Structure 1
Amino acid sequence: MKYIVMICVLLVSVSSLASSIIEGEDGYRLWLKYDPITSASLKKKYTQQVGRFHVTGDTETMQVVRDELNYALNGMLTDATVVSQKQAGLLVVAGDQASSLAASNSLDLKSVGDEGYVIHQTNDGDASQILVLANTDVGALYGTYRLLRQLQTHQPLDGLSVSSSPDIDLRVLNHWDNLDRHVERGYAGQSIWDWHKLPDYRYQRYIDYARANASIGINGTVLNNVNADPLILTPHYLTKVKALADMFRPYGIKVYLSVKFSSPQLIGDLDTSDPLDPEVRQWWKDKVADVYQQIPDFGGFLVKANSEGQPGPGDFGRTHAEGANMLASALAPHGGTVMWRAFVYANEKNEERSKQAYSEFKPLDGKFKDNVLVQVKNGPIDFQPREPFSPLFGAMPDTPLMMEFQITMEYLGFSTHFVYLGSMYEEVLQSDTYARGEGSTVAKVIDGDLFNHNVTGMAGVANIGTDRNWTGHIILQSNWYVFGRMAWDPQVSAKTVADDWIRMTLSNDDKVVASVSDMMMKSHEVTVNTMTPLGLHHIMGAGHHYGPAPWVDSLGRADWNSVYYHRAAKDGIGFDRSESGVNAVEQYFSPLKEQLSDPATTPEKYLLWFHHLPWDYEVKSSGRTLWNELVHRYYQGAADVEEMADTWDSLEGKLDPLQFHQVQMAMDIHEKEAIWWRNACVLYFQQFSGQPIPETLPKPEKSLADYQKMSFPHAPGQG
C-alpha cells in the first residue's frame, strides 16, 4: 500500500508539473518568424503580388534565396508557388540579366555596388511585377531579406521602390568564444561552435546563425576570442574552421580568426615573434598561405596585442604599426584584412587609463598598411553603460578606424536586464568629433566619408550562445539585430529599427508595438541611472563585473579598482579629466574640449566623468545639490525599472505566452537588482557626503556592510 500511495503522489506531481508548462514561441526563430498573416485582406493582397515567384540562377546563394522565399512566403501566405519568370509576380535576379532589367526600367543598379540591391514594382497596365535586382548573388540575398521585412512588418508593396547599399564594408561579429566552448563575457550558454564534433557534425543552428546574420547584412564573423588560443591556427582546427566557412559562404559571410601574436613561438618552434625578424615574417606568410589554401575567401585576422597581458610587438620594442603591417603583408596577396584592436592600457605607463589608447595610436597615424583597420571601442574605457566617444575617432585622418561596440551585456546586467542598445549606438554614432568642423560625426569617421577611406568596418562583440533563444533574453535579440542594421546604415534611427524588430519578433499590433518600443527606447537611460548616473563609471563587481561594488580598492592595478574611477571623498565625487586634472579633454577637438573642461558646459550625462565636484555643487537641470541629484537618479532608475515591469505585465494575453513569460521572469530579476544597485551605491557614497537620504524616499533594508559581503564566485562569463 505504501508503494501505491507513493506512485499516486508521483503521478499527481507529474500531472501538476505538466499543467504548468507554458507552450509557445521559445525565441529560436529570432526575427525570422514567418507566421501566417492573420489579416485576410492583407494576405490576399500579398499573395496576388508575390505569391507567384521566380529566382534566376543556380548558384548556392541563389538556391538559398529560393529556399528562404519558399519557406517564408509559404509560412506567411501558405500557398506561394514557384513559377516561370514570365508568370512571376516576384522576380529575383542578379548579374547581367539584372543589369538589363534595370536599364529597361530606368533603374540605377551600378551605384549600389557588389552588396547592394534595388527593389522596384513595375506596372504594365493591370499587370505588375516586383523586381529584386542586384549585381551579385549576395546582393540579391540581402534584397530578398529586405523585401521579406516589408511583408513581416505588414507594410505595403504598392509603388515599392527601394535602393540600398551598405555604408560600411566589414560588418563583423566578434565572438569571444574559447575552444573549450566557454564564452568570455557570454551570458547565453556555451559557444555555439562545437569544435569537438566539427568538421563532420554540422548543426542546423549554424545555418540559422548564417540566415540571421545575412538578414541584417552582417558579412563577417570572428570565430574565436581575442584572448586567442594559438591552437586555432593548427591543422586540426583549421579543418574545423573550413567547415564553418563552407556553410557560411552562400550567405555572404566570411570567417576571420583572432590570433595570438606569439604564435610563431608557441606553435611554430621559433625563438622569437619579433615582427621584423625574417623567419617570423616567413612563418606568418606560410601560415596565411595554408589558411587560404583551405579557405579561399578567408577574411583575415583580429589581433589583441600588448593589452591585459596579451603578447604583442611591444615585447620586442616594436610599434603596433610594425606588428600589424607584418600580418598585413602576409594577408595582402590573398585580399585579407588585419583588424588591430586599439584597446590597450598598462599600469606601468603612469598615464590615466582613458588617455592611453590615444597616446599610443595617434603618433602612428598614417603608418599602417592599406589593409589594416584599427578597431576602436566606442568609449575610452571599456564598454561602460555610458561613455563619451573615444577621442581617437577623428584623431587619425590617415588611418581607417573600425568601430567596436559590445552587443553582449558585460556591464549592463548580463542577460536578465531589459536594455536596448540601439539608442546607445545612435548616441555614439551621432556624436560630433569636430575633426573637420561641425558635423564631423563618429558615423562619418567610420563610414569613410570624413577622410575618404576606401575600407571601413564595424564590429560587435556577440551576445550569442546555445540558449534556445540565442541571447539569454528575448529582448536582447534586438541588440544583435540593431547592430546589423546600423552597421549597414549608421544613420538609421534606433526607433525605426526597434519598431521593425518588435513587429518581426513579437507582434504587429500597433498598441503592443508602441508600448514595447517606448520601453526599449527608454531602457538605456534607465539603466544608466540605475548603475552609473551623471558620468560615473566602472563601479561594478571586480572581475565578473556583476552588480554594484563602488568600494573595490584592493586589486593589484590602480585602474582595476572602482575607487580609481569615482574618487569619492569628503570633498566630493568624480574624476577630474579637465585641464586642472589629468587633462584628458586635450585629446578632443575644439570647441568640444573647451565645453568639457567646464562643469557648467559639460553635458550632465558626462559630468562626473570629466569633473570632481563638491557634494553641494548645484546641478543645473534640477537645482538639486550633487548629492541629492545622485540619490534622485538612483531612486528614479529603480522606479523606472519597476514601471517597465508593470508595462510588460500589462501585455499579458497580447503576446505569445512563452515569449511573454521569459521576459517577465527576467524583469523580476531586473527589478530586484535595480533596488540592489540603488541601495548599495547610495549607502556607499553617503559615507563621504555625510548627508541624509531624503525623508520621502524608502531607506535601504540592509546595511552597507551587508552589501559589501555579497560574493559571486561563479558568476557567468568571466575571463
Structure 2
Amino acid sequence: MKKVYLFFFLTLFINTNIFSDDGYRLWLKYDKIKDKKILDSYTSQIKGWIVEGNSPTILVAKEELQKGLNGLLGKKIKELSQIKNNIIIAGVYSQSHYLKNINLSESLVEISNEGFVIKSIKIDSKNVIIITGKSDTGILYGIFHFLRLLQTNSNIKNINIVSSPKIKLRLLNHWDNLNRTVERGYAGFSIWDWHKLPDYISPQYKDYARANASIGINGTVLTNVNANAWVLTHQYLIKVAALANVFRPYGIKVYLTARFSAPIEIGNLKTADPLNEEVKQWWKNKVDEIYKLIPDFGGFLVKANSEGQPGPQNYGRTHVDGANMLAEALEPYGGVVMWRAFVYDSNIKEDRAKQSYNEFKPLDGKFRKNVLIQVKNGPIDFQPREPFHPLFGAMPDTPLMMEFQITQEYLGQGTHLVYLAPLFKECLDSDTYSKGPGSTVAKIIDGSLENHSISGIAGVSNIGTDRNWTGHLFGQANWYAFGRLAWDHNLSSDEIAEEWIRMTISNDNEIVSKIKSIMLKSREDCVNYMTPLGLHHIMGWNHHYGPAPWIKDKHRDDWTSVYYHRADTNGIGFDRTATGSNAVSQYFPEVAEIFSSVEKCPEEYLLWFHHLPWDYKMKSGKTLWEEICYHYYNGVEGVKETIKIWDSLKNKIDNEQYNHVKMLLNIQLKEAIWWRDACVLYFQTFSKRPIPDELEKPEKSLDYYMNLNFPYAPGI
C-alpha cells in the first residue's frame, strides 16, 4: 500500500507544473536555451569571461553576466584571469588592461558616456567578444544587451554593435503615495515600504533596479506628482537615501516630486512665494540637505497650479518664477527641474486642449538651463488616441521632455491587453514641421533638432506589489517598450514586441508570431471599442473605469464627457477648426492644414477636430453613424480574435502564463462588449438611426449601463 501511495505522489508531482512562471522574473529569466543547435553554438563561442574593475557598478555587472551565462548556457561559465580563446572581455576601454592595444577609436567616438561597444575581435590570435565603453554604467548596459541577444537566440558570430541612448534622462514617474496607495495604479500597492525603510531593504528594490537598468532607464521619481511635502522632511529623506544606495550601482538616480507649498507645510514659513528671499533660502537649505544624504540626487518633478495643486500663480507669479527658483537651488549640484506643462483652469472658458500651449508658449527661452518642461504626448490626458501635443516644436529655446503613461488609466486599466509601443511610436514619429519636414517629436525631445544639452523622457509607472509587478503579464511589455524606446526611438513596435516575447514567453517562432500579432493589433482594437474616430475622454467619472459618455453637470465642464464628444441631433465631434475653438492654429501650418480639412484629416482624428453630421459620408461609403457602429463592433471582434489566437497556445506555453492571460482576456471581452453597447446605445439617442441590421443588438438597455456604479474602482 505504501508503494502505491508513493507512486501516486510521484506521478502527481511530476505532472504538476512546478516550474510555472509567476512573472516575477520579468524579461530577465535566464532559463537554459532550449534549441540545442543554438545552445551548442553559444557554448562554443563562450568558454569563460573577464570583467575588469571592482566598482559597485562593475560588481553588479559581473554578477549579472555570471548569472545570465550560467542560466542560459546551463552550466557554470568560469571567470578567468587571463585571455583564452572564445571568451568575453568586459571593461571600460580607458582603464582596460586587455584592450589597451586595440584601436576602437572609430567606435568609441560614436558613443556617449552611457554607450557601449560589443565586438568580435582577435587578441593574441584568440577569438574574443569585447564589451566596452567609456563608463562603468556603459559596461553594465552592454552586458545586459549581450544577454538579451542570447535570450532572443540571436546570432553572435562576427558581432559588431555600437549603441548609445538617444535621450539623456530616461525616467519612470511613480504616482506612489506615502501611504503606499498608487494613483492610477492597477497592480497592487506601492513597492516602496516607507514604514520599514531605511533599515529594511526589500530584495525587490534590487530586482527593480536590475529590470530598469536592463532597458536603459536611468532615473526614477519615487513619489506622486500630486505631491506630499512630507517626503522632503529629514525623516523621509533618509529613507530615500537608502533606496538611492540600492539603485546607484545600476546607474539609476532618484528624483522627488516637490510640493510647491512645502515651505509653509513643513518649513513653518507664512508664504511659498518664489520671489520671497526666505522661501528661496528655504529651498536652497533643503537642497543642501538632500545632496548631503544623496550626492547624486537627480532633481525635482513639479506639478504646479494644475488640478488644485499649489504653485507660483497663487502669488501672482509665473511658471518661470517657480521653476527658476528651484533650478537655482539645484544648479550647483547638477540637479534638474522637470516642470509639468499639464495645466488647465476651469475658470478659463477655453478649449482645454489649448490651455497648456497658451500658458507655456510665451515663456519659451525664459527658463534656466537646468529646467525641462515635461509635456504629455497629447493635449488632453493620455487618451487611447490623441494627436501629438502642439507644444512640441513650439518652444525651440526650451528643452521639452516627453511624458507617456505606461499605466493604462484610460486603456482598460489592469485587465486589458493593450500593447502601448504603437501609441508611443505614433507620437514620436509625428512630424511637427517646426523646422520643415522631418521635424519629428522624437527629434525635439532628444534635443537633436534644437541642439539642447539636456533631454528627457518619462513614463508613468505601472508597477506595484503584485507578484508579476504589473498586474497583467502584458503590462510588463509596456514597461519594457518604454525603456527600449527611451534608449532608441528608432526601434519599431514589431522589434520590441519580438524581443519581449522571446525573453518572457518563448523563442518558438510560431508562438512568437502569434503573440506578436495579438500585441500589434491590440491598441487599435482598444481604440475601436472605446474611442473610435477621434472620440476621447468618455470614460467613467473620476476613476475612468468603463464607458460613461453621458457624464455631465459636474463642477467643471472639462471633467465631463459631453464636453468632449459634443453629440447632438445634428452630429458629433469637437470642432477645433477656425469655426470652433481653433485649436488647429496651435500647430505649424503644414499640420494645421491637414487637421483643419475634413477631406485631409486622418479619420482616426476626425472627431477630435471636426463636428460632423450623422449622415456624413466616410471614405468607406458608410455614413458617420454606421462607421461609428462598425468601429465599436470591430473592436469587440478584435478581442474575440485575440482570444482565439491565445487559445491556440494552450499547452504550448507556460501554464500559469496561459491561464493568467486567458482569464484577463475573458474580462476584457466582457468589458469591450460593455463599452460597445453602452456607447452605441447612448450615441443612438442623438443620431436617431438604427444599428445596422447585420450587427447584433445590445442585450441590455442604456439605463442599465447608466446606473452602474463603481465606488471602489482601483487607482483613484
> Partners in 2 of 1:219 and 1:584 — Cα distance?
36
**Aligned-partner SS, 2:571:** coil
> Partners in 2 of 1:634 and 1:51 — Cα distance?
56
**Aligned-partner SS, 2:680:** helix
> Partners in 1 of 2:496 and 2:186 — Cα distance?
24
1:132 alignment partner in structure 2: 131
1:717 alignment partner in structure 2: 715
Correspondence 1:82 to 2:79: yes
Q: CA deviation at 1:419?
A: 0.4
What pairs with 1:229-244 in structure 2 (closer than 5 Å)? 229-244=228-243
2:468 alignment partner in structure 1: 469
Which of 62, 72, 92 is the equivalent residue of 2:58? 62
2:388 alignment partner in structure 1: 389
Which of 693, 696, 707 is the equivalent residue of 1:695? 693
The amino acid across from 1:66 in the alignment is K
Per mean C-alpha deviation after superposition, the further-off stretch among 355-364 and 54-63 is 54-63
Deviations 1:199-255 (A, max 9, x none): 011111000000000000000000000001000000110010000000000000000
Q: CA deviation at 1:653?
A: 1.3
Distance 1:418 1:691, change over 3 A: same
Which of 657, 662, 665 is the equivalent residue of 2:663? 665
| Percent identity (aligned) | 59
2:640 alignment partner in structure 1: 642
* Runs of 4+ residues over 2 Å off in structure 1: 18-23, 97-103, 105-108, 123-127
Deviations 1:167-219 (A, max 9, x none): 10000000000000000000000000000000011111000000000000000
2:305 alignment partner in structure 1: 306
Q: CA deviation at 1:134?
A: 1.2
What pairs with 1:186-585 in structure 2 (closer than 5 Å)? 186-585=185-584
**Aligned-partner SS, 1:660:** helix
Partners of 1:336 and 1:371 within 8 A in 2: yes
What pairs with 1:12-91 in structure 2 (closer than 5 Å)? 24-77=20-73, 78-87=75-84, 89-91=87-89
> Partners in 2 of 1:146 and 1:56 — Cα distance?
18
The amino acid across from 2:150 in the alignment is L
**Aligned-partner SS, 2:25:** coil
Correspondence 1:182 to 2:178: no
Per mean C-alpha deviation after superposition, the further-off stretch among 141-150 and 46-55 is 46-55
Partners of 1:569 and 1:688 within 8 A in 2: yes
> Partners in 2 of 1:508 and 1:69 — Cα distance?
21
Deviations 1:314-350 (A, max 9, x none): 0011110110000000000011000000000110122
Q: CA deviation at 1:128?
A: 0.7
> Partners in 2 of 1:533 and 1:367 — Cα distance?
39
The amino acid across from 1:31 in the alignment is W
TM-score, normalised to structure 1, is: 0.96
**Aligned-partner SS, 1:31:** coil
Partners of 2:49 and 2:80 within 8 A in 1: yes
Q: CA deviation at 1:489?
A: 0.8
Q: CA deviation at 1:512?
A: 0.6
> Partners in 1 of 2:415 and 2:16 — Cα distance?
22
Per mean C-alpha deviation after superposition, the further-off stretch among 390-399 and 595-604 is 595-604
Partners of 2:17 and 2:655 within 8 A in 1: no
Q: CA deviation at 1:49?
A: 1.8
Q: CA deviation at 1:357?
A: 0.3
> Partners in 2 of 1:168 and 1:478 — Cα distance?
20
> Partners in 1 of 2:447 and 2:134 — Cα distance?
23
**Aligned-partner SS, 1:132:** strand
Partners of 2:636 and 2:676 within 8 A in 1: yes
Distance 1:195 1:290, change over 3 A: same
Q: CA deviation at 1:415?
A: 1.1
> Partners in 2 of 1:103 and 1:396 — Cα distance?
47
> Partners in 2 of 1:76 and 1:339 — Cα distance?
40
Deviations 1:664-684 (A, max 9, x none): 110000011000000000000
2:3 alignment partner in structure 1: none
Distance 1:20 1:623, change over 3 A: farther
Residue ranges of structure 2 left out of the alignment (5+ in a row): 1-11
Q: CA deviation at 1:704?
A: 0.2
The amino acid across from 1:694 in the alignment is P
Correspondence 1:604 to 2:603: yes
Q: CA deviation at 1:125?
A: 8.9
1:7 alignment partner in structure 2: none
Partners of 2:93 and 2:99 within 8 A in 1: no
Partners of 2:94 and 2:100 within 8 A in 1: no
The amino acid across from 2:399 in the alignment is P
Q: CA deviation at 1:22?
A: 8.0
Q: CA deviation at 1:86?
A: 1.4
TM-score, normalised to structure 2, is: 0.96
> Partners in 2 of 1:85 and 1:351 — Cα distance?
70
Partners of 1:23 and 1:657 within 8 A in 2: no
Distance 1:63 1:685, change over 3 A: same
Distance 1:418 1:101, change over 3 A: same
Q: CA deviation at 1:20?
A: 9.4
The amino acid across from 1:27 in the alignment is G
> Partners in 1 of 2:335 and 2:203 — Cα distance?
28
Distance 1:653 1:305, change over 3 A: same
Partners of 2:110 and 2:162 within 8 A in 1: no
Deviations 1:371-413 (A, max 9, x none): 0000000000000000000000000000000000000000001
**Aligned-partner SS, 2:374:** strand
Per mean C-alpha deviation after superposition, the further-off stretch among 549-558 and 73-82 is 73-82
The amino acid across from 1:679 in the alignment is D
Partners of 1:567 and 1:574 within 8 A in 2: yes
> Partners in 2 of 1:663 and 1:251 — Cα distance?
31
> Partners in 1 of 2:269 and 2:434 — Cα distance?
44
> Partners in 2 of 1:184 and 1:348 — Cα distance?
25
Q: CA deviation at 1:103?
A: 6.2
Partners of 1:344 and 1:356 within 8 A in 2: yes
1:123 alignment partner in structure 2: 122
Distance 1:309 1:463, change over 3 A: same
Q: CA deviation at 1:81?
A: 1.1
Partners of 1:48 and 1:89 within 8 A in 2: no
**Aligned-partner SS, 2:649:** coil
Partners of 2:206 and 2:247 within 8 A in 1: yes
Partners of 1:22 and 1:658 within 8 A in 2: no
Partners of 2:170 and 2:457 within 8 A in 1: yes
Partners of 2:412 and 2:546 within 8 A in 1: yes
**Aligned-partner SS, 1:101:** coil
1:655 alignment partner in structure 2: 653
Q: CA deviation at 1:79?
A: 2.5
